[in-house]
Structure 1
Amino acid sequence: MGELKADVLVLGAGMVGVSAALHLQARGRNVVLIDKHERAGEETSYGNAGLIECASVFPYMFPRDFSQLLKYALNRSPDVHYHLDALPGFLPWMMRYFLNSSPAGALRSAMAALPLIQRSLSEHEALIEEAGVPDLLRRTGWIKLFRAETSLAKGIRELERDRAYGVTGDVLDAAAIAVREPNLSGDFAGAIHWPAPGFIPDPGGLAKAYAALFLRKGGRFIAADARTLVQGDGGWRVAGPNGALVGRDVVVALGPWSDQIFRPLGYDIPLRTKRGYHLHLAPSGNAVLHHPVLDSDRGYLLAPMNRGIRLTTGAEFARRDAPPTPVQIERTLPMARAMFPLGDPIESQPWMGSRPCLPDMLPVISRAPRHKGLWFDFGHQHHGLTLGPVSGRLLADMITGQSPFTDPKAFSVERFG
């Protein structure tokens, strides 16, 4: 068997990896995209809420309200669930997450991510146009519902804070909610409609469309085991089905599985996963959902996907590979049925995926300091769909020696020592 040589091997064909491959290809690099699946977007990139969150300036930080923390500690909350046996491994990471979630830490992370957030939708728009899939982008924005006056007031304060960074939002009363979503039922104190974010009704399909564009432009996509990666005289090698895949550079974009590469190479990066679940259901009768809607006080979101109404959950803290425990679906499904007329489930079992998270809620987009030609592009927490293309641009600028559009220092792996 022979060798297949390229300039760059990209490990992982989720939204982040496919986007990096496209941007490297656009800069003249010969790229091989590698994934354990034969199709792109089969893991975390498939199972999200479908939002290109160009209005989410501040990331999801650790709560500091005692009553909320107590509710989470009792493990009865619909939006957060944990496995008791996973806590010993999670506690050091959660302490770092807590410390980074101070007001100063949250602002620091937000300002670092702001250049990526601001360009996130335009980067997708360019790729969607080039891929020829305009039907996969809806410009509806999304709606955040509040059942309590206190949570509505907090949401309005956060909106006013975010307006300073160019974010727009409309505060809705009960009548305005009914105009935008006439099939919703519930006692809502109010809502905020964020009009700017894009909505993708088939996130996995969008990753596949980008991969198809990559192939049309001469890229190669090969199913192989990224864990076989080794460094050799000619660069980096992965065992392929018909011989070695060899590249001068390699990009680790394996999301929650990136530790399977960086740990054996000696990098101690505090990557953990927040698991999440979704279930598609048919709408009942002629009911229509026009926007993704977040029931913020109850911790679930409904999104009008092509496949059906997707019920998505909050975070589950568990070992990445532990068996699924979809208790959050069980807790939120009756609430969701009371809010919107849902029919039968489309799948027999809920889907489960993992979000790759770092304790400062910023990704690693960086050169590896101790290995020539090794690059990292992972840890995009809840925003892998949002940040995939813009992260790919930043990484491709760095690899090809071009001036990056923003200072990449905040995303360096060396921030962890």
Structure 2
Amino acid sequence: MALVKSDVLVLGAGIVGVSAALHLQKRGRDVILVDRHDGAGQETSYGNAGLIESASVFPYVFPYDLRQVLRYALNRFPEAHYRFRDLPAFLPWLIRYVFASAPERAFRSAMAALPLISRSLAEHEALIAEAGVPQLLRRTGWIKLFRSTATLDKGVADLERVRPYGVEGDILDARAIAAREPNLSGTFAGAIHWPAPGFIPDPGALTKAYAALFVRRGGRFIVADARTLTQGQAAWRVEGPNGALMGREAVIALGPWSDDIFRPLGYDMPLGIKRGYHLHLAPRGNAVLNRPVLDSDRGYLLAPMNQGIRLTTGAEFARRDAPPTPVQIERTLPLARELFPLGEAIEATPWMGRRPCMPDMLPVIGKAARHDGLWFNFGHQHHGLTLGPVTGRLLAEMMTGVEPFADPRPFAAERFR
């Protein structure tokens, strides 16, 4: 059996792992990218709204409005859902999330992540140019619709809150909504068009394009089980199909599966899971959707993907590997048909993905405290696509001794001691 050596093993070929592999490669490291699939971007990175959310300064927090909490507790509304039988599994994480969502703590998390959010689109633009796939980036932004004056007022207040950080948005009345998206139907109090974020009409294809760039530049993509990771003398080892893969260093970038590796190594970090679903549908007739549109009062988003109009749901709290429960798709599909002329579903069943989430809404990036040569890069919340390249750069700078462009301390694993 052959022994395949490298400088670094990057475990996980989602957008986060592929981006880290590319940035390490750019800085002279010989990298092996390891995944259980024979192609990149086939799990969480495949199913999302396709937004590079460079305008999302403040994270998704747990609501402190008692009425909204009770609304979610009834489990009847599409923007959030939970599996009651899984409550004991996710409740400890949820309590930490509630605690971290207090205004002062959430603000600290937002300011820590701001240098990453601010550079997220620029880092994607650079990789997209290098990969030669300009067609996979559209500069359309996205629209957030409001059906009541109360929610519109809150949305406008949110816009005013982010303006000091260089984020702009256009407040739309009904006529302006129709001008931008003439095929939408419904009565709206207004909307906000966020023009800055990039839109990726095929996130899975983008991840594959980045992985192809990595391979063209001499990187190796090998199918193997990352759970076989062990530490030997001055090297990390994964068992591959034709022999062992070895690297002086290893990066855990397995998203929601990262705890399958770090827990056996003795690290106790509160990695939680928010599951989500999507379904592609054909547009009816000549109807066109020009950009992603969030029906904020009803808790779903439509995005014009290459595969069709993608209906995406809010968060589902459940065990990572529990059977799919796509009730949010079932509840939102009739509402989505009222908003936009949707035809038949393209897939037989909805797709389900798992978002890796830390309770303080910040990813874990940096060196493992008790193992030489082990690094972490996971827990990117709802922003894996957004932050993949920029956190890959930050990690590569840390690993190669370059002064990081942003302060990495807020992302250290040690914050959960």
- Return the TM-score normalized by structure 1: 1.00
Aligned to 1:71: 71
Q: Answer whether contact 1:11 1:34 (CA < 8 A) is retained.
A: yes
Separation in structure 1 between the aligned mates of residue 101 and residue 162 of structure 2, nearest angstrom: 17
Q: Answer whether contact 1:51 1:200 (CA < 8 A) is retained.
A: yes
Q: Which string of whole-angstrom CA distances, capped at 9 and with x for unpartnered residues, describes residues 35-56 of structure 1? A: 0000000000000000000000
Aligned to 2:21: 21
Aligned to 1:106: 106
Kindly report which structure 2 residues correspond to 1:181-196, keeping only aligned pairs within 5 A, or say none.
Answer: 181-196=181-196
Aligned to 1:373: 373
Unmatched tracts of structure 2, length 5 or more: none
Separation in structure 1 between the aligned mates of residue 358 and residue 316 of structure 2, nearest angstrom: 15
Aligned to 1:350: 350
Residue identity opposite 2:385 in structure 1: L
Aligned to 2:135: 135
Aligned to 2:295: 295
Unmatched tracts of structure 1, length 5 or more: none
- Return the TM-score normalized by structure 2: 1.00
Separation in structure 2 between the aligned mates of residue 189 and residue 65 of structure 1, nearest angstrom: 22
Q: Answer whether contact 1:159 1:169 (CA < 8 A) is retained.
A: yes
Separation in structure 2 between the aligned mates of residue 322 and residue 102 of structure 1, nearest angstrom: 30
Kindly report which structure 2 residues correspond to 1:315-354, keeping only aligned pairs within 5 A, or say none.
Answer: 315-354=315-354
Q: Answer whether contact 1:234 1:246 (CA < 8 A) is retained.
A: no
Aligned to 2:305: 305
Q: Which string of whole-angstrom CA distances, capped at 9 and with x for unpartnered residues, describes residues 51-75 of structure 1? A: 0000000011101111111010010
The number of equivalent residue pairs is: 417
Aligned to 1:215: 215
Deviates more, 1:90-99 or 1:344-353: 90-99
Separation in structure 2 between the aligned mates of residue 145 and residue 269 of structure 1, nearest angstrom: 37
Deviates more, 1:343-352 or 1:101-110: 101-110
Aligned to 2:155: 155
Kindly report which structure 2 residues correspond to 1:121-270, keeping only aligned pairs within 5 A, or say none.
Answer: 121-270=121-270
Question: Structure 1 stretches (4+) deviating beyond 6 angstroms?
Answer: none
Aligned to 1:415: 415
- Following superposition, the deviation at residue 90 of structure 1 comes to 1.3
- Following superposition, the deviation at residue 351 of structure 1 comes to 0.1
Q: Answer whether contact 1:279 1:351 (CA < 8 A) is retained.
A: yes
Separation in structure 2 between the aligned mates of residue 250 and residue 85 of structure 1, nearest angstrom: 36
- Following superposition, the deviation at residue 92 of structure 1 comes to 1.4
- Could you say what secondary structure the match of 1:64 adopts? coil
Residue identity opposite 2:111 in structure 1: M
Q: Which string of whole-angstrom CA distances, capped at 9 and with x for unpartnered residues, describes residues 127-164 of structure 1? A: 00000000000000000000011110001001001001
> Percent of aligned positions with the same letter in both sequences?
75
- Could you say what secondary structure the match of 2:268 adopts? coil
Q: Which string of whole-angstrom CA distances, capped at 9 and with x for unpartnered residues, describes residues 177-210 of structure 1? A: 0000000001111000000000000000000000
- Following superposition, the deviation at residue 105 of structure 1 comes to 1.1
Aligned to 2:6: 6
Separation in structure 1 between the aligned mates of residue 68 and residue 188 of structure 2, nearest angstrom: 20
Aligned to 1:45: 45
Separation in structure 2 between the aligned mates of residue 334 and residue 77 of structure 1, nearest angstrom: 14
Residue identity opposite 2:13 in structure 1: A
Separation in structure 2 between the aligned mates of residue 304 and residue 262 of structure 1, nearest angstrom: 37
Residue identity opposite 2:77 in structure 1: S
Q: Answer whether contact 1:294 1:300 (CA < 8 A) is retained.
A: yes
Separation in structure 1 between the aligned mates of residue 214 and residue 234 of structure 2, nearest angstrom: 25
Separation in structure 2 between the aligned mates of residue 85 and residue 330 of structure 1, nearest angstrom: 20
